[in-house]
Amino acid sequence: MITKTKSSNRKQYHGFLARFQTELLLVAILVVLFLFFGTTSPVFFQMDTLMKLLKQASIYGIIAIGMVFVIISSGIDISVGSVVGLSGVIVAMGMVNGLPIPVAILIAIAASALVGLFNGVLIYDANVPPFIATMGSLTIVRNFILLITRAKTISNLPKPFTNFAAGSLFGVPYLFLSWAVIVILALFIAKRTVFGRNMYAYGSNKEAARLSGIRVRMVVYGVHMFCSSVCGVAGILLASRLGNGVPNAGTGYELDAIAAAVVGGASLDGGEGSVIGAVLGSMIMATLRQGGTLLGINSFIMEIVIGSLIVIAVVLDKARQKRN
């Protein structure tokens, strides 16, 4: 009896390690980065630096959560940066034109969701490859922003709105708490809903998903609308942090979002990925950027490092799939 119990416990232990292997590795990498930057920069562990790191990771992390949903469904969305910018200027324009803050926020999120719906229609109904469809959206949305703002920053936003990004609850930044809420929501959707199971099934095998009766259209629409909606939230938070509606806000954020999702274990072939992996991947990206800034590392070198991480993560994923 004792031998059987020990054997059962050992199997459970190994099962736990296998299930969370990627997340444990990411935690280890994050710890190593913290130790490295903590020993090479005297200010890395100061409270101001850590708070700045959390705020930066929160915005990137929200976008990465939306991206990981799309990647799990075997898609890609490179329009996320433009959606961040769109949401930021819409909420800013709404407030400076007299709309109450909650109403302006809802309109901004709704506009963001419409971009996701547009992407879904292009990909499912028009059968446009996800990369091409979202690249088109990136260009359309970014130029629409420049058109409605005349490429000018929208300033004089209400103090309650701009103060939100600088505020905290018991020392924890509101931006981080906002990220935590979205993480919990995403975990619930991915793990506890039929939609979440269908998302993984569709990403693993599209034809099998169709034959099993999964409403494929709803999966494609859903992941893209969810992605754009959370990017809309990120854009609102970014506008609060910047204190303005900036037309070029969010430019280049798609790279960090893809990097965070892929480094976090999402497979570009679809069917694999996790919310926690995206969270840890976002923390790694933010730590690299923050540490690189503190050490005075050239920003172009940091972009090379991040691009290399994406390539390495994809290569390792391909090698693992061949082994399996």
What are the extents of the domains in the chain? 53-318
Backbone region of residue 252 per phi and psi (left: phi > 0; alpha: psi in -120 to 50; beta: other values): left
Distance (Å, rounded) from C-alpha 260 to C-alpha 285?
Answer: 7
The answer to whether 290 and 54 are in contact (CB under 8 A) is no
Which stretch of 184-198, 243-257, 301-315 has the lowest confidence by average pLDDT?
301-315
Which of 156-165, 178-187, 306-315 is the least confident region? Answer: 306-315
Average pLDDT over residues 194-213: 92
Separation CA 277–CA 290 (nearest Å):
20
Token code pair at residue 227 = 């992605």
Q: Please determine, for residue 49, whether its predicted confidence score (pLDDT) is greater than 70.
A: yes
N-to-C CA span, the chain? 35
Looking up tokens 């420049």 gives 146
pLDDT at 308 (0 to 100): 84
Consecutive H or E run containing 218: helix 216-242
Handedness of CA 311, 312, 317, 323 (dihedral sign): positive
CA gap 50, 67 in Å, rounded: 25
Q: What is the pTM of this model?
A: 0.89
Q: Count the Cβ atoms, other than its own, within 10 Å of residue 80.
A: 33
213 in the Ramachandran plot: left (φ > 0), alpha (ψ -120 to 50) or beta?
Answer: left
C-alpha 214: how far from its chain's center?
A: 26
- Residue 24, pLDDT > 90, answer no
Q: By mean pLDDT, which of 118-127, 143-152, 234-243, 315-324 is the weakest?
A: 315-324
Burial class (CB in 10 A: 0-12, 13-18, 19+), 194: exposed
The CATH class, in words, for 53-318 is: mainly alpha
Q: Which two tokens stand for residue 151?
A: 């490429």
Contact 306, 285 (CB under 8 A): yes
Mean pLDDT of 257-274: 88
